[in-house]
Amino acid sequence: MPKYPDVCVKLIGEDGNVFAIIAAVNKVLRREVSREAAAEFMHEAMKQSSYDALLNFVQETVEIE
């Protein structure tokens, strides 16, 4: 279960670029949770060592649509 199970981010069919994914999640977290949650996400997302690690982190943070 993700950290924010009520937050859903549409990634399927969107740009799969790492920075586009981070930006999409950041935008939704800022809008639906808080600036602090978005900042925390950004900080941790930038630490991920690979594309797969980032995708796993995103799935641990929000629901993906």
Structure tokens at 31: 């809008």
Give the pLDDT band (50/70/90) at residue 14.
Answer: confident
Is residue 62 helix, strand or coil? strand
Give the pLDDT band (50/70/90) at residue 12.
Answer: confident
Domain ranges within the chain, ordered by starting residue: 4-64
Tell me how far apart the alpha carbons of residues 35 and 26 are, in angstroms, rounded to a whole number. 9
Contact 25, 45 (CB under 8 A): yes
Nearest to 64 by CA among 11, 19, 27: 11
